[in-house]
Amino acid sequence: MLNIAPLSYTASKEKAEAFCSSNIALCKYWGKRDEVLNLPTNSSLSISLGKLGTRASICIGESDMLMIGGKPIATQSAEYTRLFTWINSLLGNNRPCLYIHTFSNIPIGAGVASSASSFGAILKAMNSFFGWQLNDSLLAHFARLGSGSAARSLSRGFVYAKAGIDSNGVDFNVITLPQTWSEFRVGILYVSRAKKPVSSRDGMKLTVQTSPTYKGWVEYAENCCDEMIKAIQVKDFTKVGEITERNALTMHGTMMGCSPPLIYMLPKTLEIIQKVQQLRSQGIEAYATVDAGPNVKLVFLKKDEQSIKESFPTCEIISPFESAF
C-alpha cells in the first residue's frame, strides 16, 4: 500500500461540490484479492456515462451526517458505516465532523455503478474542500479504497484499471485510453430499479470462495482487457461488442456456479439479451452487457441509434464522448 500519512483536514472553503460520472465496465472485474485494500483479482475496462452519475456536497457539521437524495441515512446502516470508515482511513479519527449530501440520477444499488460515482464524487468534493490538489494516480488509489469501480469513474471515456500483482497494491494503475469515439453509444434498459438482494461485495466474496470456475474467469478476464484495448485502438466495433457481451455472460456464468448459486438476472434481463441477439441477425449491430444486477446496457454505434429507439422505446441513450461531466 502507498505509504501516505492521513490527509490534511483543514477546510479551504465553507462548502465544496463535485460531480462524478458513473461507468459501465465493458470488461468487468469480479472478485477481490485483498478486501481491506480493495484490490481486484483481475483488470477491467470501462466507458464513462457522461451526465449520468452522482453529485456530492461536503461541509463541516456538528456531527457526521450522510444524506442520499435528500434523505438522512441511519448511522447504523451499511452505507453510512462504509462511507465514514473510508473517510476515517483517509483523514484519521481526529478529523472534523462532516455533512455529506449525494444525489444520483441513476438507481442506487441496482447494478449501474452507483457506488463508483458516489465515492468518486465525494472524493472529488473532499479534494476541493480540503485543498489537497491530489494527482490522478492518488485520486484513483483513494477512490479504490472506497469502491473498486470508483477509480474508473474519475476519468472520461475508455478507462483501463490494471489490477497489478503486488500484495500492497503499489502496481494498481488506472489509465485513460487516448482514443475518442464520437459515434459510440451506450443504452441503458432498466429492468428493475430496486436494490439488489446481494451486494456486489458480498457477491464477489461468495464467488471467489465457492465458484469452481473462478480461476478460469480471472485468466479469461485479463485476456479480455488485452483484446479490448487492441479493438478500441483500431475502432473495431464488432470486436468491441463481441468481447463486451461474452465477458458479461461469462461473469454471470461464473456467479451461477456459486454455492448457493448467485443469480442477479431476471427473466426480463434474458428476454432483452435474446432480443439484442435477434437484432444482430437483422443487421442492427448492438451488444448487451449486464453488471451485478438485472439491468441491461447496450453498446452500439450512432448509425443504429434510431433502430435501437424503435426496438427499445424506454432505452436511455448516452453519447459518452459528447456529454460533459
pLDDT digits (tens, 9 = 90+) for 95-129: 999 999 999 987 665 455 578 899 999 999 999 99
What CATH number does residue 278 fall under?
3.30.70.890
Query: Is position 309 within any domain?
Result: yes
The rounded percent of the chain whose pLDDT value lies above 70 is 95
Q: What does the alpha-carbon distance between residue 277 and residue 207 come to, in Å, rounded to a whole number?
A: 27
Helices 237-256 and 200-210: angle between axes, nearest 10 degrees: 70
Query: Is position 307 within any domain?
Result: yes
Residue located via cell numbers 456464468: 253
Task: Assess whether 110 and 247 both reside in one domain.
Answer: no
Q: What does the alpha-carbon distance between residue 278 and residue 293 come to, in Å, rounded to a whole number?
A: 23
Query: Is position 115 within any domain?
Result: yes
Task: Assess whether 280 and 153 both reside in one domain.
Answer: no
Query: Is position 7 within any domain?
Result: no
Residue at which a domain ends, from 114, 142, 176: 176
Neighbours of 157 (CB within 10 A): 18
Query: Is position 2 within any domain?
Result: no
The rounded percent of the chain whose pLDDT value lies above 90 is 81
Mark out the alpha helices in 41-107 (DSSP H runs): 78-91
pLDDT of the residue at 323: 53
Task: Assess whether 216 and 134 both reside in one domain.
Answer: no
Task: Assess whether 211 and 275 both reside in one domain.
Answer: yes
pLDDT of the residue at 93: 85
Task: Assess whether 296 and 205 both reside in one domain.
Answer: yes
Please state the rounded mean pLDDT for residues 117-142: 93
Closest C-alpha to 152, from 225, 74, 242, 60: 225
Confidence band, pLDDT 50/70/90 cuts, at residue 137: confident
Q: Which residue range is the domain that position 103 belongs to? A: 16-176
Q: Could you read off the pLDDT of 20-67 as tens digits, one per residue?
A: 999 999 999 999 999 889 999 999 999 999 888 999 999 999 999 999
Residue located via cell numbers 484499471: 161
What CATH number does residue 69 fall under?
3.30.230.10
Checking if the pLDDT of 2 tops 60, the result is no
Task: Assess whether 97 and 113 both reside in one domain.
Answer: yes
Query: Is position 65 within any domain?
Result: yes
pLDDT of the residue at 195: 82
The SS3 assignment for 187 reads: strand
Checking if the pLDDT of 3 tops 60, the result is no
pLDDT of the residue at 12: 81
Task: Assess whether 89 and 20 both reside in one domain.
Answer: yes
Q: Whole-number mean pLDDT of the chain?
A: 92
pLDDT of the residue at 45: 98
Q: Indicate the number of domains in the chain.
A: 2
Task: Assess whether 23 and 140 both reside in one domain.
Answer: yes
pTM for this model (two decimals): 0.90
Query: Is position 170 within any domain?
Result: yes
pLDDT of the residue at 4: 55
Task: Assess whether 99 and 239 both reside in one domain.
Answer: no
> Quick one: DSSP state of residue 36?
T
Checking if the pLDDT of 248 tops 50, the result is yes
The SS3 assignment for 102 reads: strand
Residue located via cell numbers 480471472: 218
108 or 230, higher pLDDT:
230
Please state the rounded mean pLDDT for residues 237-266: 97
Query: Is position 241 within any domain?
Result: yes
Task: Assess whether 165 and 189 both reside in one domain.
Answer: no
Strand 65-68 to 98-104 pairing:
parallel
Task: Assess whether 166 and 223 both reside in one domain.
Answer: no
pLDDT of the residue at 1: 47
Task: Assess whether 47 and 143 both reside in one domain.
Answer: yes
Q: 278 and 236 in contact (C-beta within 8 Å)?
A: no
Residue at which a domain ends, from 176, 203, 226: 176
Residue at which a domain ends, from 129, 145, 176: 176
Q: 143 and 151 in contact (C-beta within 8 Å)?
A: yes
